[in-house]
């Protein structure tokens, strides 16, 4: 079956009420028939729900859909996207280990790498995502993980996943890809050699700014280790949020297609506007990694990074002139959102770190929504005046 069908028709087994849509299972725990049933369940001789910190029907349905969409074998749900990032990394790291990561990562991921993991003697070496040829020289004998976002947030940079897959295989590294901005509709990193794929479900997967959540998918062997770690540390995905995400996956394909259609038109408009000095969008031929994007992505996604003539001051004036769009740190919403990363999502980075991540203080990130394209472009044009 096609992915669009899998996302719609894959549901939990119907209860005795024969409901058409999966019900909510808002329960902290589950009961047992007798002591033997309880013993066998805790011994994992039975595949069943015990406690919602371990598993829950709503969470399991969401995970199974994501596994199918990402061509994975298994997955784990989390309370937030950052919980997915943290637990996925820490499961496989010990004191003294080393990470090689693109410098262009989400602000909280950067903080994790630079402020918290060093407390346990885990160091990270960054590479410029525009210079993939520099990666191999940064791999050390204690390197365990190769981490990347593609497209990056917020700079919308692309890296060749085939290249990373081959590199990880050569050096026996875990290749972990944050696929949030692309979603499984646009690309599947596992097909290119990634071992684990992370999503912030808060973004396009939800798509309407309602719920927090995350998910990691990959091989059964690796997911088993993450599951055991996370069920004991407790960053569990709430059943209600999982129910929202599972229902949202039913429309993910058509939403992403429309988001991408709108975004390409917006990117083309921005590139031709005299007030704009620079635009980055994966499916613009002017994008530095355009050929790579066309090779591994089915669509360009909904995120555009651009800068106005006049830099930071012009960007601030533009954002303050916005009337229709939302000024928010979120992305992937039905509503178009504008963000100034240097003073929000990436405000913890200093000037040097911003430069290393290929981010300028005047960069604006726009998450193109599902409003009518004429209204989106009219709002942009008005705000540039």
Query: Can you say how many angstroms the Cα of residue 288 is from the centroid of all Cα atoms in its chain?
Result: 22
Domain CATH code at residue 294:
3.90.1150.10
Instruction: Tell which of 248, 273, 296 closes a domain.
Output: 248
Coil, strand, or helix at residue 288?
Answer: coil
Q: Are residues 149 and 211 in the same domain?
A: yes
Q: Please count the structural domains in the chain.
A: 2
pLDDT < 50 regions, the chain: none
In this structure, how many other beta carbons lie within 10 angstroms of the beta carbon of residue 71?
Answer: 14
In order, the DSSP letters of 65-110 are: HHHHHTT-SEEEEESSHHHHHHHHHHHT--TT-EEEEES---HHHH
Instruction: Tell which of 248, 274, 293 closes a domain.
Output: 248
pLDDT for residue 349: 65
Q: Which of 209, 172, 176 is nearest to 190 (CA)?
A: 176
User: Could you give the CA distance from residue 183 to residue 371 in angstroms, rounded to a whole number?
Assistant: 20
Q: Are residues 264 and 195 in the same domain?
A: no
pLDDT for residue 336: 98
Q: Are residues 259 and 241 in the same domain?
A: no
Q: What value, to the nearest 5°, has the Cα angle with vertex 194 and ends 358 and 215?
A: 85
Domain CATH code at residue 160:
3.40.640.10
Q: Are residues 27 and 160 in the same domain?
A: yes
pLDDT for residue 344: 65
Coil, strand, or helix at residue 5?
Answer: helix
User: Could you give the CA distance from residue 127 to residue 111 in angstroms, rounded to a whole number?
Assistant: 16
The residues, ordered by sequence, that sit 6+ positions from 205 with a Cβ below 8 Å of its Cβ are: 183, 199, 213, 245, 248, 249, 252, 332
pLDDT for residue 269: 97
Q: Are residues 211 and 88 in the same domain?
A: yes
Instruction: Tell which of 248, 276, 310 closes a domain.
Output: 248
pLDDT for residue 222: 98
User: Could you give the CA distance from residue 297 to residue 299 in angstroms, rounded to a whole number?
Assistant: 6
Coil, strand, or helix at residue 122?
Answer: coil
In order, the DSSP letters of 162-220 are: HHHHHHHHHHT-EEEEE-TTTHHHH--GGGGT-SEEEEETTTTTT-SS----EEEEE-H
User: Could you give the CA distance from residue 48 to residue 44 in angstroms, rounded to a whole number?
Assistant: 8
Q: Are residues 195 and 92 in the same domain?
A: yes
Q: Are residues 256 and 221 in the same domain?
A: no
Q: Are residues 30 and 44 in the same domain?
A: yes
For residues 216, 220, 225, 231, the Cα torsion angle rounded to the nearest 10 degrees is: 60
pLDDT for residue 348: 64
Q: Are residues 261 and 134 in the same domain?
A: no
Structure token digits, residue 336 = 């178009």
Q: Are residues 258 and 242 in the same domain?
A: no
Q: By residue range, what is the domain housing residue 190?
A: 3-248
Q: Are residues 197 and 88 in the same domain?
A: yes
Which ranges of the chain does DSSP label H, i.e. alpha helix? 3-9, 35-42, 57-69, 81-91, 107-111, 161-171, 183-186, 220-233, 239-272, 290-296, 311-320, 351-356, 373-384
Coil, strand, or helix at residue 348?
Answer: coil
Q: Which of 197, 132, 205, 200 is nearest to 166 (CA)?
A: 132
Phi, psi of 105 (to 5 degrees): -130, 165
pLDDT for residue 354: 65
Q: Are residues 185 and 38 in the same domain?
A: yes
Structure token digits, residue 198 = 């992370």
């Amino acid at each position: 079956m096609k992915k669009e069908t899998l996302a719609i028709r894959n549901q939990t087994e119907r209860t005795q009420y024969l409901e058409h849509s999966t019900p909510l299972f808002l329960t902290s725990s589950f009961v047992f028939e007798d002591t033997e049933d309880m013993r066998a369940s805790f011994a994992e001789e039975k595949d069943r729900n015990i406690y919602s910190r371990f598993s829950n029907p709503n969470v399991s349905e969401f995970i199974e859909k994501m596994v199918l969409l990402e061509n994975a074998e298994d997955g784990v749900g989390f309370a937030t996207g950052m919980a997915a990032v943290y637990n996925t990394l820490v499961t496989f790291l010990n004191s003294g280990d080393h990470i090689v990561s693109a410098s262009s990562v989400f602000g909280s991921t950067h903080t994790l790498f630079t402020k918290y993991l060093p407390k346990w003697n885990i160091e990270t070496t960054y590479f410029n995502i525009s210079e993939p040829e520099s990666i191999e020289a940064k791999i050390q004998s204690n390197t365990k993980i190769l981490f990347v976002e593609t497209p990056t947030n917020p700079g919308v940079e692309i890296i060749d996943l085939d290249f990373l897959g081959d590199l990880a295989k050569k050096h026996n590294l875990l290749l972990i890809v944050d696929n949030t901005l692309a979603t499984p509709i646009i690309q599947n990193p596992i097909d290119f050699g990634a071992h684990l794929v992370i999503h912030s479900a808060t973004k396009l997967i939800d798509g309407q700014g309602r719920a927090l959540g995350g998910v990691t998918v990959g091989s059964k062997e690796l997911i088993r280790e993450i599951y055991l770690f996370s069920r004991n540390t407790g960053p569990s995905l709430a059943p209600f949020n999982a129910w929202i995400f599972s229902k949202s996956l039913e429309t993910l394909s058509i939403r992403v297609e429309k988001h991408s259609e709108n975004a390409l038109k917006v990117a083309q408009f921005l590139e031709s506007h005299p007030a704009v000095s620079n635009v980055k969008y994966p499916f613009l031929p002017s994008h530095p990694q355009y050929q790579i994007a066309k090779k591994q992505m089915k669509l360009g996604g909904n995120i555009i990074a651009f800068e106005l003539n006049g830099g930071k001051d012009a960007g601030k004036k533009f954002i303050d002139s916005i009337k229709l769009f939302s000024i928010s740190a979120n992305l992937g919403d039905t509503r178009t959102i504008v963000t100034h990363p240097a003073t929000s999502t990436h405000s913890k980075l200093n000037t040097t770190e911003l430069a290393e991540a290929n981010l300028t203080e005047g960069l604006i990130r726009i998450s193109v929504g599902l409003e009518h394209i004429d209204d989106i472009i009219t709002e942009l044009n008005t705000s540039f005046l």
